[in-house]
Amino acid sequence: MAAYQLAQERLAAEFAARWAATLAAVEAREIAGSLAELEAAYVAAIRESAAVSRTLSVAFYRLVRALETGRVIGGPGYRPASSLGSLWADFNRATGKRTGTGPREPLPVDTRDPFPAADLAREARRAEETFRHQVADRIERHERERPARQGSAALDDAELVAWEKEFLESLKTGSSGAGGMLVQDGGRDAIHAALQDDPGALGYYRKTDASPCYFCALMASRGAVYKSRRTAAFGPHPHCHCQVVPIFSRRYQLPAENDAFARMWKRFGGGSLADWRTYYSTTTKTKT
Ligand SMILES: [Zn+2]
């Protein structure tokens, strides 16, 4: 289900580009005075993209479920007389790509809605907290350091300019990574929650992006996570584009990467997480 993973990754990238443009429009020295506007823009961009991510995930979940069980599930976006053809059409619309088609015969329906309503207040709170940690607090610290840093140097002093630029870059990297996580959580949380409430779902596996970090590769190497392990949280992180792919049948097929990570883990032979990190980075480096 690469199309789904790529579409979610693209949503995070679109958010990052939009946020970068907002940041670029502000002068480094005026940034502290623009915090309210920046926060409003940051939160709005995250929440709009998270809503798109969620819609995409619901279409994906419904499609995978129908492909594996032959049945349609209710919930947001459900339309009567849904067929594999109409579910593919919904999914294609959500990804903006033509990724598949199917027959038009209506499928039997499970009327249950396993998707919890979006918790708008919680989403807003998470976005605001992320802004505070990733942007507001860091700008405040930076402003405090500036007088000492500047001393008697002129405003266009090369070192000072480089210092300001470096700060803005790291601010952008941190805030777009954390914001992109919230964007994709719109979809990841919807699928993770729906699984728990859908008797037809067995569990999920982790679909990583093309070059996941050692942590995500390890999680992916473990294959399917079955529902009975309720404590198993998904564990995304900033700059992570892993997605939750639901499983409805024991005949699911893991992506080739997950199998490759499992073989790598076996060859690694066990050890601490730090050892695995070293092993993973050297192995993937020699491969490319
Ligand atoms: Zn990841």
State the distance from the centre of ligand 1 to the C-alpha of 112, rounded, in angstroms. Answer: 30
Q: Do the domain assignments include residue 232?
A: no
Residue whose C-alpha is closest to residue 217's, from 175, 173, 279, 271: 279
Residue 38: inside a domain, yes or no?
yes
- 234 Cα: distance to centroid of ligand 1 (angstroms): 9
Q: Is the model's pLDDT at 149 over the cut of 50?
A: yes
Q: How many domains does the chain have?
A: 1
CA of 139 to the centre of ligand 1 (A): 28
Ligand 1 centroid vs 69 CA: distance in angstroms? Answer: 28
Query: What is the C-alpha to C-alpha distance for residues 154 and 159, in angstroms, rounded to an integer?
Result: 10
Q: Is residue 255 part of a domain?
A: no
pTM: 0.93
What distance in angstroms lies between residue 230's CA and the mean position of ligand 1's atoms?
Answer: 20
User: What mean pLDDT is predicted for residues 230-238?
Assistant: 80
100-125 pLDDT per residue, tens: 999 999 999 999 999 999 889 999 99
Note the helical H segments in the chain: 2-24, 35-69, 84-95, 120-131, 137-150, 158-197, 214-221, 256-268, 273-287
Cβ–Cβ < 8 Å for 8, 187: yes
211 CA from centroid of ligand 1 (Å) = 9
Residue 214 placed within a domain: no
Distance CA 51, CA 95 (A): 14
Distance 70 CA to ligand 1 centre (A): 30
**How many beta carbons lie within 10 A of that of residue 190, not counting itself?**
26
Residue 288 has pLDDT above 50, yes or no: no
Rounded to 10 deg, the angle between the 120-131 and 158-197 helix axes is 160
Q: Say if 215 falls within a structural domain.
A: no
Spatial distance between the Cα atoms of 14 and 279, rounded to a whole number of angstroms: 33
208 C-alpha to center of ligand 1: Å?
6
In a domain, residue 261? The reply is: no
> How close is the Cα of 241 to the center of ligand 1, in Å?
5
Burial 124-140 (b: 16+ CB within 10 A, else e): eebbeebbeebbbebbe
CA of 212 to the centre of ligand 1 (A): 6
Q: How far is the CA of 257 from the centre of ligand 1 (A)?
A: 13
> Under a CB-based contact definition with an 8 Å cutoff, are residues 54 and 186 in contact?
yes
For residue 219, how far is its CA from the centre of ligand 1 (angstroms)?
9
Please choose, from the candidates 219, 281, 204, the residue with its C-alpha nearest in 3D space to the C-alpha of residue 249: 204
User: Does the pLDDT of residue 247 top 90, yes or no?
Assistant: yes
- What is residue 226's DSSP assignment? E
* Residue 286, pLDDT score: 65
Tell me what the mean pLDDT of segment 21-44 comes to.
92
The domain in which residue 12 lies consists of 2-203
Average pLDDT in the 41-64 region? 97
pLDDT tens digits, 184-217: 999 999 999 999 999 999 999 999 999 999 999 9
* Residue owning tokens 């990052």: 16
Average pLDDT over every residue of 127-142:
97
Q: Is residue 265 part of a domain?
A: no
In the reported structure, the alpha carbon of residue 191 is separated from the centroid of ligand 1 by a whole-number distance in angstroms of: 16
Please tell me the distance between residue 239's alpha carbon and the centre of ligand 1 in angstroms: 7
For residues 1 and 57, is the Cβ–Cβ distance under 8 A?
A: no
Per-residue pLDDT band at 244 (split at 50, 70, 90): very high
Q: Is residue 248 part of a domain?
A: no
Amino acid at 44: A
Q: How far does residue 6's CA lie from ligand 1's centre (Å)?
A: 13
Q: How far apart are the first and last CA of the chain?
A: 24
pLDDT band at 14 (very low <50, low <70, confident <90, very high): very high
Q: Is the pLDDT of residue 93 over 50?
A: yes
Distance 276 CA to ligand 1 centre (A): 16
Average pLDDT in the chain: 93
CA–centroid distance, 240 to ligand 1, in Å, is: 4
- Identity of residue 12: A
